[in-house]
Amino acid sequence: MSELLQVEGLKTHFQTESGLVRAVDGVDLSVNEGEVLGLVGESGSGKTITALSLIRLVSPPGKIVAGRVMFGGQDLLQASEREMVQLRGDRISMVFQQPKASLNPVRRVGAQIAELFIHHRGASRRAAMNQAVELLARVGIPAPERKALAYPHELSGGQAQRVMIAMALALKPRLLIADEPTTALDVTIQAQILDLLRELCRDTGTAMILVTHDLGVIAQTADRVSVMYAGQIVEERPVARLFDDPRHPYTRALLASMPVQGRVAPRLGAIPGSVPPPGRMPAACRFAPRCAVRAERNMTICTHEMPALYPVEGGVSRCWCDAPAEATT
Protein backbone atom coordinates (compact mmCIF):
# COMPACT_ATOMS: atom_id res chain seq x y z
CA MET A 1 0.00 0.00 0.00
CA SER A 2 1.48 3.28 -1.05
CA GLU A 3 0.95 6.50 0.75
CA LEU A 4 -1.49 8.93 -0.89
CA LEU A 5 -1.66 11.82 1.55
CA GLN A 6 0.63 12.81 4.33
CA VAL A 7 -0.11 15.68 6.65
CA GLU A 8 2.53 16.94 9.06
CA GLY A 9 2.24 19.57 11.75
CA LEU A 10 -0.78 21.25 10.19
CA LYS A 11 -1.82 24.36 12.09
CA THR A 12 -4.87 26.47 11.27
CA HIS A 13 -5.54 29.42 13.53
CA PHE A 14 -8.31 32.01 13.78
CA GLN A 15 -7.46 35.52 14.83
CA THR A 16 -10.67 36.59 16.57
CA GLU A 17 -11.63 39.57 18.68
CA SER A 18 -11.43 37.44 21.81
CA GLY A 19 -7.97 36.15 20.93
CA LEU A 20 -6.22 33.51 18.87
CA VAL A 21 -8.17 30.28 18.38
CA ARG A 22 -5.87 27.37 17.57
CA ALA A 23 -8.56 25.26 15.92
CA VAL A 24 -6.04 22.93 14.32
CA ASP A 25 -2.77 22.87 16.18
CA GLY A 26 -0.28 20.39 14.84
CA VAL A 27 -2.25 17.67 13.09
CA ASP A 28 -0.48 14.68 11.59
CA LEU A 29 -2.38 12.32 9.31
CA SER A 30 -1.63 9.81 6.64
CA VAL A 31 -3.90 8.11 4.16
CA ASN A 32 -2.92 5.21 1.93
CA GLU A 33 -4.25 4.61 -1.58
CA GLY A 34 -7.78 3.19 -1.45
CA GLU A 35 -8.12 3.02 2.32
CA VAL A 36 -10.69 4.56 4.63
CA LEU A 37 -9.26 6.67 7.42
CA GLY A 38 -11.71 7.51 10.17
CA LEU A 39 -11.28 10.88 11.88
CA VAL A 40 -13.12 11.00 15.20
CA GLY A 41 -13.35 13.51 17.98
CA GLU A 42 -15.77 15.52 20.04
CA SER A 43 -17.58 18.52 18.64
CA GLY A 44 -15.19 21.43 18.32
CA SER A 45 -12.06 19.29 18.22
CA GLY A 46 -11.19 20.72 14.79
CA LYS A 47 -12.21 17.94 12.40
CA THR A 48 -13.98 20.17 9.89
CA ILE A 49 -11.28 22.81 9.92
CA THR A 50 -8.68 20.08 9.37
CA ALA A 51 -10.65 18.75 6.41
CA LEU A 52 -11.08 22.21 4.89
CA SER A 53 -7.40 22.99 5.43
CA LEU A 54 -6.40 20.01 3.29
CA ILE A 55 -8.05 21.58 0.24
CA ARG A 56 -7.28 25.12 1.40
CA LEU A 57 -10.87 26.25 1.77
CA VAL A 58 -10.79 27.67 5.29
CA SER A 59 -12.62 31.02 5.31
CA PRO A 60 -11.05 34.07 6.90
CA PRO A 61 -10.18 34.80 9.64
CA GLY A 62 -8.99 31.19 9.55
CA LYS A 63 -5.45 30.86 8.29
CA ILE A 64 -3.17 27.91 7.75
CA VAL A 65 -0.04 28.96 9.59
CA ALA A 66 2.17 25.87 9.47
CA GLY A 67 2.55 22.36 8.21
CA ARG A 68 2.83 20.28 5.09
CA VAL A 69 0.11 18.52 3.12
CA MET A 70 1.91 16.14 0.77
CA PHE A 71 -0.31 14.78 -2.01
CA GLY A 72 0.93 13.30 -5.26
CA GLY A 73 4.51 14.40 -4.55
CA GLN A 74 3.48 18.00 -4.03
CA ASP A 75 2.97 20.12 -0.91
CA LEU A 76 -0.54 21.47 -1.37
CA LEU A 77 0.15 24.33 1.04
CA GLN A 78 2.78 25.59 -1.43
CA ALA A 79 0.68 25.05 -4.55
CA SER A 80 -0.74 28.01 -6.45
CA GLU A 81 -4.45 28.78 -6.16
CA ARG A 82 -4.76 27.84 -9.83
CA GLU A 83 -3.35 24.40 -9.16
CA MET A 84 -5.71 24.01 -6.21
CA VAL A 85 -8.74 24.87 -8.37
CA GLN A 86 -7.69 22.18 -10.83
CA LEU A 87 -7.17 19.67 -8.06
CA ARG A 88 -10.39 20.27 -6.12
CA GLY A 89 -13.31 18.17 -7.25
CA ASP A 90 -11.01 16.27 -9.59
CA ARG A 91 -8.31 14.58 -7.50
CA ILE A 92 -9.56 15.49 -4.03
CA SER A 93 -13.25 16.07 -3.44
CA MET A 94 -15.41 16.67 -0.42
CA VAL A 95 -18.86 15.77 0.87
CA PHE A 96 -20.37 18.02 3.51
CA GLN A 97 -22.48 17.53 6.58
CA GLN A 98 -25.58 19.44 5.42
CA PRO A 99 -26.41 18.08 1.96
CA LYS A 100 -29.36 20.37 1.31
CA ALA A 101 -27.39 23.47 2.26
CA SER A 102 -24.53 22.38 0.03
CA LEU A 103 -26.39 22.69 -3.25
CA ASN A 104 -27.05 25.96 -5.05
CA PRO A 105 -30.78 26.51 -4.45
CA VAL A 106 -31.48 28.23 -7.77
CA ARG A 107 -29.72 25.77 -10.09
CA ARG A 108 -30.98 22.49 -11.38
CA VAL A 109 -29.36 19.44 -9.84
CA GLY A 110 -28.26 17.96 -13.16
CA ALA A 111 -26.54 21.17 -14.21
CA GLN A 112 -24.67 21.28 -10.90
CA ILE A 113 -23.26 17.83 -11.55
CA ALA A 114 -22.65 18.48 -15.23
CA GLU A 115 -20.46 21.52 -14.64
CA LEU A 116 -17.79 19.24 -13.18
CA PHE A 117 -17.40 17.47 -16.52
CA ILE A 118 -17.53 20.78 -18.36
CA HIS A 119 -14.86 22.50 -16.27
CA HIS A 120 -12.49 19.67 -15.48
CA ARG A 121 -12.88 17.53 -18.59
CA GLY A 122 -13.90 20.07 -21.21
CA ALA A 123 -17.05 18.07 -21.98
CA SER A 124 -19.81 19.57 -24.07
CA ARG A 125 -22.93 20.66 -22.23
CA ARG A 126 -24.88 17.83 -23.75
CA ALA A 127 -22.38 15.07 -23.00
CA ALA A 128 -21.98 16.43 -19.48
CA MET A 129 -25.73 16.30 -18.90
CA ASN A 130 -25.86 12.71 -20.09
CA GLN A 131 -23.06 11.80 -17.72
CA ALA A 132 -24.86 13.60 -14.89
CA VAL A 133 -28.00 11.54 -15.49
CA GLU A 134 -25.93 8.35 -15.54
CA LEU A 135 -24.34 9.31 -12.25
CA LEU A 136 -27.70 10.03 -10.66
CA ALA A 137 -28.80 6.55 -11.63
CA ARG A 138 -25.53 5.16 -10.25
CA VAL A 139 -26.12 6.71 -6.79
CA GLY A 140 -29.61 5.25 -6.68
CA ILE A 141 -31.81 8.21 -7.54
CA PRO A 142 -35.07 6.98 -9.08
CA ALA A 143 -36.16 8.53 -12.40
CA PRO A 144 -32.76 10.19 -12.91
CA GLU A 145 -33.72 12.03 -16.13
CA ARG A 146 -36.51 13.78 -14.30
CA LYS A 147 -34.55 14.38 -11.08
CA ALA A 148 -31.73 15.95 -13.08
CA LEU A 149 -34.14 18.77 -13.86
CA ALA A 150 -35.23 19.16 -10.24
CA TYR A 151 -34.14 21.97 -7.95
CA PRO A 152 -32.45 21.09 -4.65
CA HIS A 153 -35.51 21.96 -2.55
CA GLU A 154 -37.41 19.25 -4.39
CA LEU A 155 -35.06 16.56 -3.02
CA SER A 156 -35.15 14.78 0.31
CA GLY A 157 -32.11 15.02 2.57
CA GLY A 158 -31.02 11.52 1.59
CA GLN A 159 -31.42 12.26 -2.12
CA ALA A 160 -29.49 15.51 -1.74
CA GLN A 161 -26.62 13.61 -0.10
CA ARG A 162 -26.70 11.09 -2.94
CA VAL A 163 -26.38 13.99 -5.34
CA MET A 164 -23.44 15.37 -3.34
CA ILE A 165 -21.80 11.95 -3.43
CA ALA A 166 -22.40 11.72 -7.17
CA MET A 167 -20.64 15.08 -7.60
CA ALA A 168 -17.79 14.17 -5.29
CA LEU A 169 -17.06 10.90 -7.09
CA ALA A 170 -17.94 12.05 -10.61
CA LEU A 171 -14.33 12.48 -11.69
CA LYS A 172 -13.02 9.44 -9.78
CA PRO A 173 -10.84 11.39 -7.35
CA ARG A 174 -7.92 9.77 -5.53
CA LEU A 175 -9.20 11.08 -2.20
CA LEU A 176 -12.66 11.83 -0.87
CA ILE A 177 -13.11 13.81 2.33
CA ALA A 178 -16.51 13.05 3.82
CA ASP A 179 -17.32 15.40 6.72
CA GLU A 180 -20.01 13.74 8.79
CA PRO A 181 -21.87 12.68 5.66
CA THR A 182 -24.71 11.05 7.53
CA THR A 183 -25.15 13.17 10.66
CA ALA A 184 -27.93 15.31 9.20
CA LEU A 185 -29.85 12.35 7.85
CA ASP A 186 -32.56 10.08 9.15
CA VAL A 187 -31.19 7.09 11.06
CA THR A 188 -32.77 4.71 8.59
CA ILE A 189 -31.02 6.39 5.66
CA GLN A 190 -27.61 6.71 7.33
CA ALA A 191 -26.65 3.09 6.72
CA GLN A 192 -27.69 3.26 3.05
CA ILE A 193 -25.60 6.36 2.45
CA LEU A 194 -22.58 4.84 4.17
CA ASP A 195 -22.91 1.67 2.12
CA LEU A 196 -23.15 3.74 -1.04
CA LEU A 197 -20.03 5.73 -0.14
CA ARG A 198 -18.07 2.60 0.64
CA GLU A 199 -19.20 0.79 -2.49
CA LEU A 200 -18.46 3.69 -4.83
CA CYS A 201 -15.08 4.33 -3.26
CA ARG A 202 -14.19 0.69 -3.69
CA ASP A 203 -15.26 0.76 -7.34
CA THR A 204 -13.24 3.83 -8.19
CA GLY A 205 -10.31 2.98 -5.93
CA THR A 206 -10.83 6.23 -4.06
CA ALA A 207 -9.38 6.64 -0.59
CA MET A 208 -11.61 8.31 1.99
CA ILE A 209 -11.20 10.38 5.10
CA LEU A 210 -14.41 9.79 6.98
CA VAL A 211 -15.02 12.47 9.59
CA THR A 212 -17.52 11.52 12.23
CA HIS A 213 -18.64 11.63 15.85
CA ASP A 214 -19.96 8.18 15.51
CA LEU A 215 -17.73 5.31 16.63
CA GLY A 216 -20.29 2.84 15.31
CA VAL A 217 -19.78 4.26 11.82
CA ILE A 218 -16.02 4.03 12.28
CA ALA A 219 -16.20 0.42 13.38
CA GLN A 220 -18.18 -0.51 10.26
CA THR A 221 -16.37 1.58 7.70
CA ALA A 222 -12.82 2.56 8.53
CA ASP A 223 -9.55 0.72 8.03
CA ARG A 224 -7.58 3.02 10.29
CA VAL A 225 -8.62 5.65 12.80
CA SER A 226 -7.16 8.96 13.86
CA VAL A 227 -8.59 10.33 17.08
CA MET A 228 -8.61 14.08 17.41
CA TYR A 229 -8.71 16.13 20.58
CA ALA A 230 -8.49 19.92 20.92
CA GLY A 231 -6.84 20.47 17.54
CA GLN A 232 -4.38 17.58 17.72
CA ILE A 233 -4.27 13.91 16.85
CA VAL A 234 -3.98 11.92 20.07
CA GLU A 235 -4.02 8.38 18.71
CA GLU A 236 -3.80 6.70 15.33
CA ARG A 237 -4.35 2.94 14.99
CA PRO A 238 -5.81 0.26 12.74
CA VAL A 239 -9.51 0.06 13.51
CA ALA A 240 -9.51 -3.38 15.15
CA ARG A 241 -6.59 -2.50 17.43
CA LEU A 242 -8.20 0.75 18.45
CA PHE A 243 -11.37 -0.97 19.56
CA ASP A 244 -9.61 -3.95 21.22
CA ASP A 245 -6.78 -2.14 22.87
CA PRO A 246 -7.14 1.66 22.94
CA ARG A 247 -4.01 3.32 24.27
CA HIS A 248 -4.73 6.97 24.80
CA PRO A 249 -6.90 7.70 27.84
CA TYR A 250 -9.10 9.93 25.68
CA THR A 251 -9.74 7.09 23.23
CA ARG A 252 -10.57 4.81 26.14
CA ALA A 253 -13.01 7.33 27.52
CA LEU A 254 -14.61 7.67 24.09
CA LEU A 255 -15.05 3.92 23.76
CA ALA A 256 -16.43 3.69 27.27
CA SER A 257 -19.02 6.31 26.41
CA MET A 258 -20.14 4.32 23.37
CA PRO A 259 -23.53 2.72 23.90
CA VAL A 260 -24.00 -1.02 23.69
CA GLN A 261 -24.45 -2.34 20.16
CA GLY A 262 -27.94 -1.81 18.82
CA ARG A 263 -28.85 1.24 20.84
CA VAL A 264 -29.44 4.51 19.07
CA ALA A 265 -27.43 7.70 19.01
CA PRO A 266 -23.92 6.59 19.81
CA ARG A 267 -22.79 10.17 20.31
CA LEU A 268 -19.79 11.38 22.19
CA GLY A 269 -19.93 13.68 25.14
CA ALA A 270 -20.21 11.33 28.08
CA ILE A 271 -16.69 12.12 29.23
CA PRO A 272 -16.55 14.21 32.39
CA GLY A 273 -15.39 17.77 31.88
CA SER A 274 -15.21 19.50 28.54
CA VAL A 275 -12.78 20.52 25.83
CA PRO A 276 -10.70 23.40 27.18
CA PRO A 277 -11.76 26.80 25.78
CA PRO A 278 -9.31 28.33 23.26
CA GLY A 279 -7.95 30.90 25.69
CA ARG A 280 -7.16 28.38 28.40
CA MET A 281 -5.62 25.64 26.31
CA PRO A 282 -3.07 23.78 28.48
CA ALA A 283 0.47 24.17 27.21
CA ALA A 284 1.18 20.56 28.20
CA CYS A 285 -1.08 17.56 27.48
CA ARG A 286 -4.43 18.98 26.45
CA PHE A 287 -6.39 16.13 27.89
CA ALA A 288 -4.62 16.20 31.26
CA PRO A 289 -7.36 18.16 33.12
CA ARG A 290 -9.92 15.48 32.23
CA CYS A 291 -7.61 12.48 32.30
CA ALA A 292 -8.50 9.66 34.69
CA VAL A 293 -5.14 7.92 34.24
CA ARG A 294 -3.19 11.03 35.14
CA ALA A 295 -5.33 11.54 38.26
CA GLU A 296 -4.98 7.92 39.29
CA ARG A 297 -1.22 7.67 38.81
CA ASN A 298 -0.66 11.22 39.92
CA MET A 299 1.60 12.01 36.97
CA THR A 300 3.09 15.48 37.10
CA ILE A 301 4.75 15.55 33.68
CA CYS A 302 1.31 15.61 32.00
CA THR A 303 0.63 19.13 33.19
CA HIS A 304 4.15 20.34 32.48
CA GLU A 305 5.13 19.13 29.06
CA MET A 306 3.43 18.32 25.78
CA PRO A 307 3.74 14.63 24.86
CA ALA A 308 4.77 13.73 21.30
CA LEU A 309 3.22 10.96 19.19
CA TYR A 310 4.88 7.79 20.51
CA PRO A 311 4.83 4.49 18.63
CA VAL A 312 2.42 1.92 20.02
CA GLU A 313 1.31 -1.37 18.50
CA GLY A 314 0.21 -0.62 14.92
CA GLY A 315 0.21 3.14 15.33
CA VAL A 316 0.95 6.10 17.58
CA SER A 317 -0.37 7.62 20.79
CA ARG A 318 0.14 11.07 22.28
CA CYS A 319 0.34 10.04 25.92
CA TRP A 320 3.13 10.13 28.45
CA CYS A 321 2.12 6.58 29.45
CA ASP A 322 3.27 5.39 26.02
CA ALA A 323 6.47 7.40 25.97
CA PRO A 324 9.69 5.41 25.93
CA ALA A 325 11.45 5.48 29.27
CA GLU A 326 14.20 7.86 28.14
CA ALA A 327 11.65 10.51 27.06
CA THR A 328 10.15 10.94 30.51
CA THR A 329 13.39 11.37 32.35
Partner 1 sequence: MTAYIIRRIAMTVPVLFGILFVTFLMKALIPTDAVLALYSGQVSEEKAAEAIAQIRAKYDLDKPWYQQFAIYVGDVARGDLGESIRTRQPIVDEIGYRYWNTLVLTFASLVVALVVGLSTGIASAYWKGTWIDEVAMGIGLLGISMPAFFFGLILIFFFAVQLRWLPVMNAGDWKGLILPAVTLGLIEAAPLSRITRASMVEVLSQDYVKAIRAKGLPERHVIFRHALPNALLSILTILGLQIGGLLGGAFIIEVVFGWHGIGELAVKAIGWRDFTITQAIILVSATTYVLVNLVVDILYAWADPRIKLG
Ligand X SMILES: Nc1ncnc2c1ncn2[C@@H]1O[C@H](COP(=O)(O)OP(=O)(O)OP(=O)(O)O)[C@@H](O)[C@H]1O
| Residue 53 makes contact with ligand X by CB under 6 A | no
Residues 208-228 as b or e (16 or more Cβ within 10 Å = b): bbbbbbbbbbbbebbbbbbbb
Taking the C-alpha atoms of residue 329 and residue 313, their distance in angstroms, rounded to an integer, is: 22
For residues 197 and 285, which CB has a smaller minimum distance to Mg ion in the complex? 197
| Residue 274 makes contact with ligand X by CB under 6 A | no
Q: Tell me, what DSSP letter sits at residue 85?
A: H
Q: Which of these, 130, 65, 94, lies nearest to 208 by C-alpha position?
A: 94
Residues 32-51 as b or e (16 or more Cβ within 10 Å = b): bebbbbbbbbbeebbbbbbb
Taking the C-alpha atoms of residue 79 and residue 28, their distance in angstroms, rounded to an integer, is: 19
| Residue 115 makes contact with partner 1 by CB under 8 A | yes
Near Mg ion in 30-49, by CB under 5 A: 48
| Residue 86 makes contact with partner 1 by CB under 8 A | yes
Q: Which of these, 151, 75, 167, lies nearest to 114 by C-alpha position?
A: 167
Near ligand X in 54-93, by CB under 6 A: 62
| Residue 327 makes contact with partner 1 by CB under 8 A | no
Query: Which region, judged by CB under 6 A, interacts with ligand X, from 40-48, 200-208, 241-249, 292-300?
Result: 40-48
For residues 16 and 156, which CB has a smaller minimum distance to ligand X in the complex? 16
> Among partner 1, Mg ion, ligand X, none, what does residue 67 contact (CB within 5–8 Å per kind)?
none
Q: Would you tell me which residues interact with Mg ion (CB under 5 A)?
A: 48
Q: Would you tell me which residues interact with partner 1 (CB under 8 A)?
A: 52, 55, 57, 59, 84-90, 93-94, 96, 98, 101-107, 115-116, 119-120, 151, 153, 164, 167
